[in-house]
Amino acid sequence: MIVLIDNYDSFTYNLWDYFMQLYPAGCQLVRNDEASIESIKALEPKGVVFSPGPQAPKDHPLMFEVLDEYVEKIPILGICLGFQAIGTYFGGTMTRASTPVHGKTSKIAHKDHQSFYGIPNNFEVTRYHSLVLKDIPENHLKITSYTNLPEEIPMSIAHFRYPVWGYQFHPEAILTENGHQLLKNWLYHVN
């Protein structure tokens, strides 16, 4: 099974529903303030997903504990807040966006990375964020997509060695094109 850590976002159950459709072994939802690293280890996850949520990554320590435990062991996917947690875990920094984007769509350009297998370039994604990831450490992470309106902003990252990916946008949002395929591409790495 995969474990979906709920960071109290309204989109979390959309994600859970998508994973239940796409992954026959199931998806266990755990709330970030009710779970511990020990309780997650007891579930023996084959992959972990960090949901979107409010605040900044530093306000959600469980995601960092999961990264400490599993970054070299199992696939990890971070969405929005989860993307930001992965980025800061590896040394990136968060800053306020010059223009917050909430409930808006943007076209993104992706680079040649397996997270976008079967997905055309320049497709629409739905964004809900007022923070952006900067100073992404190139020795650990690569930017796999970006948007350039109103400025070039990383929209996804991937670890160079491990199946640890992050999407700043929401693949589970109805206005995001290819949302199921984005999640399937990550699930390909889950045993």
* DSSP-derived secondary structure for the chain: -EEEEE-S-TTHHHHHHHHHHH-TT-EEEEETTT--HHHHHHT--SEEEEPP-SS-GGG-HHHHHHHHHHTTTS-EEEETHHHHHHHHHTT-EEEEEEEEEEEEEEEEEE-S-GGGTT--SSEEEEEEEEEEEES--TTTEEEEEEE-SSS-EEEEEEESSSSEEEESS-TTSTTSTTHHHHHHHHHTT--
**What are the residue numbers of the active site?**
80, 170, 172
Q: What is the pLDDT of residue 150?
A: 64
With a pLDDT cut of 70, the percent of the chain lying above it is 99
* pLDDT exceeds 90 at position 191: no
* pLDDT tens string 54-113: 999 999 999 999 999 999 999 999 999 999 999 999 999 999 988 889 999 999 999 889
* pLDDT tens string 28-57: 999 999 999 999 999 999 999 999 999 999
CATH architecture observed for domain 2-187: 3-Layer(aba) Sandwich (3.40)
Which residue has better confidence, 103 or 181? 181
